[in-house]
A and B are shown apart, each in its own frame.
Chain A
Amino acid sequence: MEETRTVGLVVNHQKYEAEVPVRFHLADFLRQRLRLTGTHLGCEHGVCGACTVLVDGQSVRSCLMLAVQADGHEVLTVEGLAEDGKLHPLQQAFRDYHGLQCGFCTPGTLLTLVELLQSNPDPTEDDVRVAISGNLCRCTGYQGIVEAALKAARQISRSAR
């Protein structure tokens, strides 16, 4: 029989509790148990970054974390970025500056950029490129993503004033 555990955690400010096989990674748990399918699986070996979420505010490859390890922690996924139907400035900027095409790498990239802007509100283009170096994209060539990130940073700074 598959060994399971009960995992209790907060995802996108909401409490969840569910039973999960211990060998499920966090991405599997989010997608299958919580039906939050915005977090995607691109490689399951920690290279592509499509599965990136924030755990306690830090970006993490959710395919490299067991679901049971998230017990008692706080997770932010792409579904938690918009507030009251209003897009996060990064989401809006991705829209305005063509930061996505197929959208598969987008959730992971967004969360990585959320972390960047939290610690570095005024990044240079190089800062942005290094920050997303662990998020692979096959569609955009990254230019639209970088543009969107820089514009969003400016937008967030403007709103903060």
Chain B
Amino acid sequence: MKAPRFSYHDPRQVTEVIGLLSSLENAKLLAGGQSLMPMLNMRYVLPDHLIDLNRVEGLSVLAESESCLLAGTMVRQREMEFSDAVRRRLPIIKDALQWVGHRQTRNRGTLGGSLCHLDPAAELATIAAVLDAELTVQGPEGQREIAFKDFPAGFMMSCLSPQEMLMSVCFPVWPTTHGWGFVEYARRHGDFAIVSAAAMVLRGVDGRIGRAAVALGGMAAAPVRAAEAEALLMGSTGDEATVRAAADSCRGIDAVGDALVPASYRQHLAGVIVARALRQALSRAR
């Protein structure tokens, strides 16, 4: 299981990266390596060129503003996990990160790498979906913004063109009174999620849910926003009956099946996991 031949490039500036992406055929970007390297070692990918982002300047900023948490594409998952700003403003990100692989994965793995790789079970993708993240992308023509819901284009494929690279992600923050919940089911600690659920709720002054976002990972090629569940929650008190109804509505979401996990199990799990995530979120919402 040794990697195939490739040409190795380690640029220092974003402009160099864009230049390489524009001029090279069959090139892949190397970020944390936790997803790409296994595929390379198994020869599931055969790039002619590997462009290493690890020495490029300016891609690792993690900052907060009034409206969002801004994270550069090369911010390590470990850094986000231990970030004070993340813990204060969007603790769901911290919760989700506990489920991402193991310590070793998160020491090297990056936000951008995970989002661009788009493994159906990726926790960070589920988080990006539930938080309606905004992605800033750089290409030869300049920068553009992509809403995360428009980012996945297919199974493990983003809408990025081969000449583009993800620069940073903005996670819009919620008011501090929001409640959050992240629940995942995996066979062993650190395994790929079979199904994961991210829930965010905000109560109005009348105690009723004024805003709700629910996303499911692992069900389909890309994270799914549970629109029906969200609609059921809106305006409700978040009582157990509503929680169950919202969760049960998720059993109808289309799911993938494979030799190890049938689709029906994923759908069953969706109902269970969403309920648990909602209960967590509602218990935290003030």
- A interface residue numbers (CB < 8 A to B): 2-3, 5, 22-23, 25, 28, 44-46, 49, 52, 58-61, 63-66, 68-69, 112, 115, 130-131, 133-134
The 7 closest A-B pairs by CB, nearest first: A134-B102, A22-B8, A45-B38, A64-B37, A44-B1, A23-B3, A58-B107
Seed contacts A23-B6, A60-B104; 14 additional CB < 8 Å A-B pairs: A2-B5, A3-B5, A23-B2, A25-B37, A28-B2, A46-B38, A49-B102, A59-B104, A61-B34, A61-B104, A68-B10, A68-B52, A130-B189, A131-B103
Chain B positions 186-237 with a Cβ under 8 Å from a chain A Cβ: 188-190
Contacts of A112 in B (CB 8 A): 103-104
A22 touches B107 (CB 8 A): no
A45 touches B2 (CB 8 A): no
Output the least CB separation between B273 and chain A (Å): 21
Cα distance, A60 to B52, chains bound together (Å): 17
A64 touches B102 (CB 8 A): no
A-B contact pairs, 21 of them (CB 8 A): A23-B3, A23-B4, A23-B8, A25-B37, A44-B41, A45-B38, A49-B104, A59-B103, A60-B108, A63-B37, A63-B41, A64-B34, A64-B37, A64-B108, A66-B8, A68-B8, A68-B10, A133-B189, A134-B101, A134-B105, A134-B190
B41 CB contact (under 8 Å) in A2, A25, A58, A68: A25
Cα distance, A134 to B108, chains bound together (Å): 14
Output the least CB separation between A46 and chain B (Å): 5
Cα distance, A58 to B63, chains bound together (Å): 23
B6 touches A22 (CB 8 A): yes
A66 touches B33 (CB 8 A): yes
Cα distance, A62 to B135, chains bound together (Å): 30
Chain B positions 88-127 with a Cβ under 8 Å from a chain A Cβ: 101-105, 107-108
B1 touches A133 (CB 8 A): no
Is there a chain A Cβ closer than 8 Å to B78's Cβ? Answer: yes
- Known A44-B1, A45-B1; judge A134-B37 contact (CB<8 A): no
Most A CB contacts (10 A, CB to CB) among B1, B103, B105 go to B103
Cα distance, A22 to B122, chains bound together (Å): 28
Contacts of A5 in B (CB 8 A): 8
Cα distance, A106 to B6, chains bound together (Å): 33
Is there a chain A Cβ closer than 8 Å to B7's Cβ? Answer: yes
Contacts of B54 in A (CB 8 A): 69
